[in-house]
Structure formats: C-alpha cells, structure tokens
Amino acid sequence: MKKTRVCFAIIIVAVLLFSMAFSSKAETHYKYEPEAWQLHRLGLFAGASAHTFNPDLGAPLTRQVGITLLLNFFGKRSDVEALMPDEVSRILQKYKDQSEIFAWARPYLAYAVKTGMVAGTSNETISPNNILDGYSFAALILRHLGYTVDRSNFTHSIEMLNKIGGISSSETGLFTKSLLIKNDGIRIIYTTLFATAKDGQTVVEKLINSGHISLEKAVAYNLVKYAGVDNIEVVNSGYVTVKRPTMYDQIYYGIYEALYNYESKLVLPDSPYTDSPQKVFQLIEKCLQENPHLFYYSGCVYFSDGTVKFQYSKDSITGINQRNALKQRIEEIVREVITPEMSDYEMELALHDYLIQFCQYDKNGYEKSDIPPESYNAYGALCLGTAVCEGYAEAMKLLLNRVGIECQIITGTANDEKHAWNIVKIDGETYHLDATYNDPVLSDGTSTIRYHYFNLTDMEIEKDHVWNRRNYPACNSTKYNYYVYNSLIVSDYQDFIKLTVNSVNNGIYNLTLKIKNSENFNYISAVKEVCNRLYRSCTVLYNKELGIVDLMF
C-alpha cells in the first residue's frame, strides 16, 4: 500500500499578477547563479548578507572578495572566525590602506596573510579593492591545492587549472579578462570542486573527508556516488566539461533542503518548473522518491506568490533522530552482509534477502486501516522491522544505493491497489524488483522469502502491476532474473519432475521453479507425480500469473 499525500493550491490572481510584474523589473539574473546557490547550500559560499542569501554576483571580484570566497570554499571559515579581534588588528596594522577593508573581510585577509596565502602588494599596502584578474584568482587556487605558481608559469595558471579538472578548455577564454566580477569567481570555484589536488585527491573528496561537506549531502547533490562499501566516485570526474547546475537544480535542491531540515515554508523563484501548482507538487514528489531519507512529509499548501507551506506528520527532532538511526543501521547491514568479492547481482540478492528476513509486512495496521507513519518509510522497515510497500521500496533503494547499485522507486498499482516497488540497474540493464511481493504473508500467518518478483521484465510484471511507463526506463533484459540466472526454468512436465526429484535426492528440500510455458501446465498433476516418486508429502504454492511453483518437502 502506498500513502497518498495531500497538496493544496491557493490561487490569488491579484497577488500573482503583482509578483510577476515585480519580478520582471527587480530581479537581475547572472549566468552562474545556480552555482552560487549550490555552493551556498553546501556551506561553501555565504553571500553578501548574514540574514538572507544574497549572492551579489555583480560585485567586482576584488582581492578582499576573492580571498573571502576562496577561504569559505576551502572550508576555512571556522579557522578564520577563531582569530581574535586583537590578532586581526595586529596582523593588518602594518598596511596603511587597511581602512579600505570591509569589516566582514578583515579576519579573512588577516588569516590569508598569517598563513601565507597572500602577501601585501607592497610593504605598506594590501590593496583590498584591487580587482583580480583570472590568472591571479586561478593562481591562488592552484597554490592552495599544492601546486607551484611563480613568474615562470603565472600566465598559464588558468590553463593549469583546466588540466587538473577545473574549468574546461571552452571556458578558459572567458576568464582571461583583466577585471573579474563575483559571478566569474563563482564559476571558477564551482568547477574547482572536481579539480585534483597535488596529492591526487579531488577537492570535493577533501571537503567530504574533512567534514566540510557531509557525504549524505554530496550524494544527494549528485557530486559523488557510492562505488562499493568503502569507496566513493566523483560524478563529474573525467568529464571534458564540469556539468553546470541549472535553474531546475536550484529549485530541486531548495525543496530538498527544506524537507531535509523540516522547514515550514519555502519561497520558490519564478521559472518554467514552478509556473503551476501541479509542477511544484510533482517536483516535491520526485524529490521525496529520490531521497527516501526525507521522512514524514504529509502534504503542502501552495500559494500563488511561490510560497510553499509544508506539513509533517512528526516533529523535526523525531525525524532527524530517526534519520540518523537509519543511516547507522544501513551501515551495520552493509558491513554484515556484503563482502568485497560480491558482484552487483550478489549484493542485490544479499540485501534483498536481509530486508525480507528482518522486516514483516504491517498486516495489522493494513487490516485496521491504521498504518503508523513509520511503516511508510525505511526507518520502519530497517529499524523497527515493520513496513508496508513504500517502506520496503525505500529501504531497498537506500541499501542498494549505499553499495553503488542504481535503484529507483516506482509507483503504480498492483492487483488494483496503490503500490510501490523498485527498478534496479545491474550491469547496465534495468529490472523490476518488488521486495514486498517477495515477502508474502501466508494464510497461517507465517511469511517466507520468495523470488517471484526478483528482476523481472516489463512483460512479466505487467501481469499484475500497472505503472506509467513514460516515467520509467524500459525493463527488457532477463539475464539477471532470479530463475534465469540460477537455471531454475523448466520447459515441460517431464523436465519439472526430473529437476525436482534430483534436487530433493541431493538434499534440497525447498525449491522454486519457473515453468517456461505455463498456460497448459498441470502443476497439481506434476507435483503428485513427484511426491509419488519420492514417497514424500510437500507444501505447494503456485503463482499462476508468473508460472512459478514453490515446493517445500
């Protein structure tokens, strides 16, 4: 069962017209505004205001602005703020032009002088308002990354930054101008996220390892992805051009941050992605599906001025504590069941089996129509051991993503009820995986693991599942279907009897087989024949839609 969330749109025409007119006159957009927002949300860019985010991208990239940008970007803000005011004054007192330094920039320039990041432009001046050119800004970055930049190669600093994975060849000409503005600086430092330092690590890896960017956020922002249990892979690594964040990203991650922090409201900018309530609601649902660690969103109210007011079924402290507990639980599970030599298929199978063995379907809540919020999420599935389909699907996605396997949540209906399951990618091919349907509750109240819905094609699962195919990748491969991969498909009556008898004689007493042409297959007769030959009784379950027979001797 999938939960339905409630969203309302309040359309006030007068307000809409006013806000549209105001926006068209008052807003000035710069090319690299999405990068500024992205860096801001990562905690690497503060903007020009302590109260609201104002990137001020049209400001000249002076020495004091550029140095502040870089120190914040490289995670040095706390070190800068640790400088006492008297130490700042003592460091800067020798410069006759220190009065030109803005109050907010003083500790940054003092820190830069103290650490040798910059020197004065003379013995008595620091020239805080001199505007940086592209070579100077690139040189500051390169030196911080451990490279040597001196008079012999200073004019090649932009080219050097390109060679280590920063700004692309097509962009280098944009930044060779003598006077940069903040907008230019933002693009240069954003691409520097993916540059490789002298020690071989990318900047984004360094920021994650030092704790300046959380790994969870870096994964959510698609900066890195898991590559096995103990490794991460930089997403932009090896690209000719660092992929630019877009206006869509700016809005999407704004929604993500609001839901992650349990914020009560968010004001969305005018854009093609927010010009109707339906588009906003779809974006919110997409964000939730792609980030199952966002708990307890229960609906929203959308106002025509772009304001979204969020509603939650639990308080923020509970949600954050449970999210942290889930994160720790996932690490424990992965360490317990995954080994380095496992293939993607083997990891998928191991995590699937763990989930089904640990989690029970919330039959009690379902039958009483009183399902608790926890049963709809991965916390319920992996920490409490109780969930409905949405909780199973979210848990499966988080577990598989954690070991580097692509997995998404798919919603639709199954047997005419709202339902959620997964699509996984193994060796470049996509498959349907329904962990809920592989964990059936039997008539006697017990449950047992099944593989009927393990890596199915569209054609197979469409027999009892319905979904909007335009929204999801096609699944046509059978290579990693459980029955194909394990040679558990029988072609006819005699093949069924032979394989079953041989398996039991070899000590295999629980068996699942898929009938290749099941329409005319008399499974009752075949099972009776097997039992007569073995002088044994058995319990039989038959999935007519998929032609699968489960036998327990």
Q: How confident is the model over 333-346, as pLDDT tens digits?
A: 999 999 999 999 99
**Quick one: pLDDT at residue 177?**
86
Whether the pLDDT of residue 20 is over 60: the answer is no
69 and 112 both lie in a single domain: yes
Instruction: Select from 430, 450, 483 the last residue of a domain.
Output: 483
Domain annotation covers residue 145: yes
Q: pLDDT band at 12, cuts 50/70/90?
A: very low
Domain annotation covers residue 295: no
**Quick one: pLDDT at residue 444?**
67
Cα separation, 189 vs 441, in Å, equals 54
In the predicted model, what is the mean pLDDT of residues 156-185?
91
For position 506, which CATH number holds?
A: 3.30.110
pLDDT single digits (tens) 471-486: 999 999 999 999 999 9
Residues of the chain above pLDDT 70, percent: 92
Domain annotation covers residue 285: no
Whether the pLDDT of residue 9 is over 80: the answer is no
Cα separation, 161 vs 144, in Å, equals 12
Task: Assess contact for 171 and 241: CB atoms under 8 A.
Answer: yes
Cα separation, 443 vs 452, in Å, equals 18
Cα separation, 527 vs 538, in Å, equals 8
Which of 16-20, 71-75, 217-221 has the lowest average pLDDT?
A: 16-20
Whether the pLDDT of residue 490 is over 90: the answer is yes
Q: pLDDT band at 17, cuts 50/70/90?
A: very low
340 and 382 both lie in a single domain: yes
Q: pLDDT band at 512, cuts 50/70/90?
A: very high
Sign of the CA dihedral with 446 first, then 450, 452, and 458 last: positive
Which of 172-176, 235-239, 363-367 has the lowest average pLDDT?
A: 235-239
461 and 520 both lie in a single domain: no
What's the domain count of the chain?
A: 3
DSSP 441: B
Cα separation, 383 vs 162, in Å, equals 46
130 and 66 both lie in a single domain: yes
**Quick one: pLDDT at residue 440?**
86
**Quick one: pLDDT at residue 26?**
34
Which of 95-99, 301-305, 344-348 has the lowest average pLDDT?
A: 301-305
Instruction: Select from 156, 177, 200 the last residue of a domain.
Output: 200
46 and 67 both lie in a single domain: yes
Whether the pLDDT of residue 434 is over 90: the answer is yes
Q: pLDDT band at 235, cuts 50/70/90?
A: confident
Its domain, for residue 365, covers: 316-483
Q: pLDDT band at 519, cuts 50/70/90?
A: confident
Cα separation, 184 vs 174, in Å, equals 8
322 and 408 both lie in a single domain: yes
Nearest alpha-carbon partner for 361 in 336, 332, 387: 387
Q: Pick 137 or 21 by higher pLDDT.
A: 137
3-state secondary structure (DSSP) of residue 219: helix
456 and 523 both lie in a single domain: no
Domain annotation covers residue 368: yes
Q: pLDDT band at 46, cuts 50/70/90?
A: confident
Instruction: Select from 168, 200, 232 the last residue of a domain.
Output: 200
149 and 37 both lie in a single domain: yes
In the predicted model, what is the mean pLDDT of residues 199-218?
94
Domain annotation covers residue 217: no
138 and 44 both lie in a single domain: yes
525 and 387 both lie in a single domain: no
Cα separation, 233 vs 114, in Å, equals 35
In the predicted model, what is the mean pLDDT of residues 387-406?
97
Residue found under tokens 């599935």: 381
401 and 498 both lie in a single domain: no
For position 371, which CATH number holds?
A: 3.10.620
In the predicted model, what is the mean pLDDT of residues 307-317?
96
**Mean pLDDT for the chain overall:** 91
3-state secondary structure (DSSP) of residue 409: strand
Q: pLDDT band at 411, cuts 50/70/90?
A: very high
Domain annotation covers residue 231: no
**Quick one: pLDDT at residue 236?**
72
Q: Residues near 140 by Cβ (< 8 Å), separated by ≥ 6?
A: 66, 67, 70, 117, 118
Q: pLDDT band at 145, cuts 50/70/90?
A: very high
Whether the pLDDT of residue 95 is over 60: the answer is yes
Domain annotation covers residue 251: no
**Quick one: pLDDT at residue 53?**
76
Domain annotation covers residue 398: yes
Which of 7-11, 76-80, 232-236 has the lowest average pLDDT?
A: 7-11
Q: pLDDT band at 14, cuts 50/70/90?
A: very low
Task: Assess contact for 523 and 480: CB atoms under 8 A.
Answer: no
Q: pLDDT band at 23, cuts 50/70/90?
A: very low
398 and 536 both lie in a single domain: no
Whether the pLDDT of residue 13 is over 60: the answer is no
Q: Pick 62 or 9 by higher pLDDT.
A: 62
Q: Count the residues in the chain.
A: 553
Q: Residue 497, by phi and psi: left (phi above 0), alpha (psi -120 to 50) or beta? A: alpha
